[in-house]
Amino acid sequence: MGETFKSKGFKIAVFIIILVVAFGFIILGTLFGDIGSNLFGDSEDPAKVLDEKSLEDDSGNNIILMPKEEIYTFSMTDEDDVVLNFSKKGEGWEYTDNPNIKIDEKRIDYVLNYLSDVKYIDVIEGEDPEKYGLVKESPVAIITDSSDSSIFISFGNVDEKTGELYYAVNYDYSTIYVNGGKLGNVLHYKLEDLIKR
């Protein structure tokens, strides 16, 4: 029997079996990896998910309702905590910090869905704003109309249980608004999501 393990034919057979098994694992891993990513949405572009969420109806009362075509400049804090500035140029938009970058106009429209129609489901007054994540360094979005009138939205914490977002308007932290959760999605865009490809 010892001679069988030493024979050249046996070694080749074992080598071929190992190759077939390894190849089988590679194919199964690829197949199930693709199925798993499709089942769990891993392969979906996060920015497209944000775009779709911008079209959903938000609950509550409006604190900001401005037609998108009346917004002439806006700024927003992106997911990397960078403030991005945009201004209307003709019929399109320009990235003010680097006008050579071509902007995805449709994606900007989705971003403005969040910023032009802001609602609240509750109001909190007389509380410490820091408790709700509202401090001077909080992420911010600014929308400005043609008359150069600006509205500032400061973003606070998101409630871990409910998904609700705490925010303030025009740096008035004495009144804290509660959003159902839609508004906070705008902070998850990145600059590369807004660049035309």
Q: Three-state SS across the chain?
A: CHHHHHCHHHHHHHHHHHHHHHHHHHHHHHHHHHHHHHHHCCCCCHHHHHHHHHCCCCCCEEEEECCHHHEEEEEEECCCCCEEEEEEECCEEEECCCCCCCECHHHHHHHHHHHHEEEECEEEECCCHHHHCCCCCCCEEEEEECCCCEEEEEEEEECCCCCCEEEEECCCCCEEEEECCCHHHHHHCCHHHHECC
111, 136, 133, 145: which is closest to 177 by C-alpha? 133
Does residue 58 sit in the same domain as residue 27? Answer: no
Q: Residue 30's domain spans which residues?
A: 2-40
**pLDDT tens across 63-87, in order?**
999 999 999 999 999 999 999 999 9
pTM of the model: 0.77
Does residue 189 sit in the same domain as residue 107? Answer: yes
| Per-residue pLDDT at 4 | 54
Cβ-based neighbour number of residue 54 at 10 Å: 21
Tens-digit pLDDT profile for the chain (197 aa)? 555 556 777 778 777 877 777 766 676 665 555 444 444 454 589 999 999 999 999 999 999 999 999 999 999 999 999 999 999 999 899 999 999 999 999 999 999 999 999 999 999 999 999 999 999 999 999 999 999 999 999 999 999 999 999 999 999 999 999 999 999 999 999 999 999 98
Does residue 22 sit in the same domain as residue 51? Answer: no
| Per-residue pLDDT at 131 | 98
Does residue 23 sit in the same domain as residue 114? Answer: no
Does residue 68 sit in the same domain as residue 146? Answer: yes
Does residue 63 sit in the same domain as residue 127? Answer: yes
Structurally, the chain folds into a number of domains equal to 2
Does residue 135 sit in the same domain as residue 75? Answer: yes
